[in-house]
């Protein structure tokens, strides 16, 4: 009887331990993942670290920031010039935004490359695209807050783009700007939006990780790489990889922040906002340039808004556009057409950004339209055709 009680007591202890913090950490570290994961799968850890850095630095910056059109710019300047390590906090936050968006873009491309959106991981993909959309909204709101020249005119362009929506456009513009032009109401809205979405991102990241644990991590080899015999414990095999990527990213982060800050900052934004003086060249941060180019690609403001927003929203429909039952394949075993198409997608995205930087003028207008056609063509034409081809070749896939 005492033996049964001892066994039951031990079982109860294990259950309690599983729900404790130490039990959660042990379960997380022993989580089985495919043994063939490459370094692209470490970007999730990099994103976690950069997100934590952004939230911490953002909270400290907010203690000295004043969301008022007459005080916002001077409050940021005072923080940088007279605040204790204020310049460092601002540099960390600004550099972190670019690194976070760069890592997120590569993370999403990895999902496209290895078809991580295929069943049964569609929920992982949809939560990831939602995170991308929320990160872009947070980054834009944060770009407005310093209230420099680019901040002001960026808000003005975004307000006019919202005003181009038929019927409800004027109402949307009024809600966004809080008036007829950017001002203190705009800053207060952006300040609240920036923090609200930032903390919502942290919550959604936790949900994203939970879904990954529930559905299991994808593999470059697809279902073949997810067999029990090919699984390894997350620790120590992949914690080492994650730490290595974090250290390399940290070195690049410090190098850009200290030696090449011009790569992630806009000199024009170090001038206070002036509604009476339009900058000679208005452009957003580099990670918005491809969508900014699409916004200017056609004469219609509403049409440009649809194409620009659609370039992100179309990612939600990728699992439906490519519904082949084959999930993942190493780059070396992809069909040549798939590799060419992925390279063309990257090229179109980059060229679209270059066109946006040159304001889609002259020859860049034609270049932008071709790049935009290639971008949408990948999702709307190539993916459905590739899915149909993979379905036809399914017996050969099984034989492999």
With a CB cutoff of 8 Å and minimum separation 6, the contacts of 356 are 283, 284, 288, 289, 290, 291, 292, 293, 294, 295, 296, 368
Angle 207-212-217 (CA atoms, 0-180°, nearest 5)?
165
Q: How far is CA 373 from each of CA 104, 311, 367, 380, 382, rounded to the nearest angstrom?
A: 23, 11, 10, 10, 12
Q: Of 109, 89, 91, nearest to 101 (Cα)? A: 109
Q: What are phi and psi of 304, to 5 degrees?
A: -65, -35
Calpha distance 219→36 (Å, rounded): 7
3-class DSSP state of 231: strand
Q: Of 33, 46, 29, nearest to 220 (Cα)? A: 33
Q: Of 345, 351, 344, 350, nearest to 368 (Cα)? A: 351
In 145-268, which residue ranges form alpha helices assigned H by DSSP? Answer: 149-163, 169-177, 184-215, 234-259
Give yes or no for a cis peptide into 120 (omega within 30° of 0).
yes
Calpha distance 245→392 (Å, rounded): 39
Give yes or no for a cis peptide into 92 (omega within 30° of 0).
no
Calpha distance 269→147 (Å, rounded): 8
Q: Of 176, 142, 173, nearest to 160 (Cα)? A: 173
Crossing angle of the two packed helices 301-313 and 149-163, in degrees rounded to 10: 100
Please say whether the beta carbons of 301 and 161 come within 8 A: yes
Angle 302-305-306 (CA atoms, 0-180°, nearest 5)?
90
The residues assigned a catalytic role are 213, 217, 241-242, 285
């Amino acid at each position: 009887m005492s033996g049964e009680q001892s066994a039951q007591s031990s079982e109860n202890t294990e259950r309690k331990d599983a729900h404790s913090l130490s039990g959660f950490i042990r379960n997380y570290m022993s989580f089985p993942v495919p043994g063939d994961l490459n370094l692209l799968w470490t970007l999730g850890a990099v994103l976690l670290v950069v997100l934590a850095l952004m939230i911490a630095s953002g909270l400290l910056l907010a203690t000295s920031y004043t969301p008022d059109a007459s005080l916002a710019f001077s409050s940021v300047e005072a923080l940088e010039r007279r605040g204790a390590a204020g310049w460092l906090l601002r540099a960390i936050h600004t550099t972190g935004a670019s690194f976070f968006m760069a890592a997120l873009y590569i993370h999403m491309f990895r999902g496209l490359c290895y078809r991580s959106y295929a069943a049964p991981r569609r929920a992982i993909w949809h939560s990831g695209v939602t995170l991308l959309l929320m990160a872009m909204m947070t980054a834009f709101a944060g770009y407005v807050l310093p209230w420099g020249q680019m901040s002001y005119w960026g808000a003005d362009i975004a307000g006019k783009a919202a005003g181009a929506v038929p019927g409800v456009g004027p109402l949307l513009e009024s809600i966004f700007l809080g008036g007829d032009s950017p001002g203190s109401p705009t800053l207060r809205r952006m300040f609240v939006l920036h923090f609200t979405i930032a903390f919502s991102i942290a919550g959604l990241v936790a949900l994203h990780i939970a879904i990954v644990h529930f559905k299991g991590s994808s593999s470059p080899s697809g279902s073949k790489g997810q067999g029990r015999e090919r699984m390894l414990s997350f620790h120590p095999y992949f914690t080492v990889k994650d730490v290595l990527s974090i250290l390399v990213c940290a070195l690049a982060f410090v190098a850009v922040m200290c030696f090449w800050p011009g790569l992630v900052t806009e000199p024009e934004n170090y001038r206070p906002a002036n509604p009476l003086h339009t900058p000679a060249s208005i452009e957003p941060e580099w990670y918005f340039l491809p969508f900014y180019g699409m916004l200017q690609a056609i004469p219609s403001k509403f049409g440009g808004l649809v194409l620009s927003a659609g370039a992100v929203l179309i990612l939600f429909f990728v699992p439906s556009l490519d519904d082949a039952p084959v999930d993942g394949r190493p780059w070396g075993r992809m069909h040549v057409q798939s590799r060419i198409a992925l390279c063309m997608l990257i090229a179109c995205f980059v060229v679209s950004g270059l066109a946006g930087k040159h304001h889609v003028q002259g020859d860049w207008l034609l270049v932008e339209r071709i790049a935009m056609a290639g971008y949408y063509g990948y999702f709307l034409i190539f993916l459905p055709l590739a899915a149909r081809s993979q379905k036809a070749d399914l017996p050969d896939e099984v034989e492999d």
